[in-house]
Structure 1
Amino acid sequence: MERFRKYRNARLICRHFGISPDTFYLWRKRFIPSELKTLEDNFKTRKPHRVRASKHKTAQLETIKKLKNMDSRLGKTRIAKILGETGYKISSSTVGRILKSSKGLTPLSGVDIRVKRNVN
């Protein structure tokens, strides 16, 4: 900030320190000369105020995990089809996201599994 008082050129200071002008102006607005801690990054302020709750029911999640554990070859499309037949309306993309977020369960698709076919 002392350089800014001396030169009064924000762009020059940004180039010197390798920071963006937006960052400089943010720091300048936040800076209190008597308290150097005002320039430290406060990670608590970056936390979202509201986190979106999951729309998926725990019964659906458990059913997806059970199906995947019973047959690891089942992909997101087949699991979505089985769930549709049992009464749960859920898309294959949603099943894939659930499998991806669940540790140890990976969504398999037809692209990942290649099977040789016997051509007679």
Structure 2
Amino acid sequence: MVLADLVLVCGVFGNITDADIERTVDACSRLCRTGGTVIWTRHRGAPDMVPLICEWFETRGFERQWLSERDAGFGVGAHVFTGEPQLLVPGMHLFSFVGYDVLRQANVQAGDA
């Protein structure tokens, strides 16, 4: 199924840890062919990870094609892979689904500490 022309990572980044977001972004270079596009989403609530997610894509050989405006209330990005695809590792773990409610509660508790 790889290398793909289009990879959708929608409804994921708001429900996994920051480390898993970065690992998933990194894996996109193993899923996309050169010229392939990743479309992804992430809420813009605190903490707003959208700028960092863009940076992670862009340091891994992706060029930003489009990003929703900050005041849209949500983040939608499209990045095109311009690098050379890396090998997909069989059985590679991308993320563990934690859930937005659990992550939000952890952020609230961290803010109280």
TM range (shorter): under 0.3
Structure with the bigger RCO (C-alpha within 8 Å, sep 6+) is 2
Kindly indicate which of the two structures has a greater share of residues assigned to strand.
2
Kindly indicate which of the two structures has a greater share of residues assigned to helix.
1
TM-score, with structure 1 as normaliser? 0.23
TM-score, with structure 2 as normaliser? 0.24
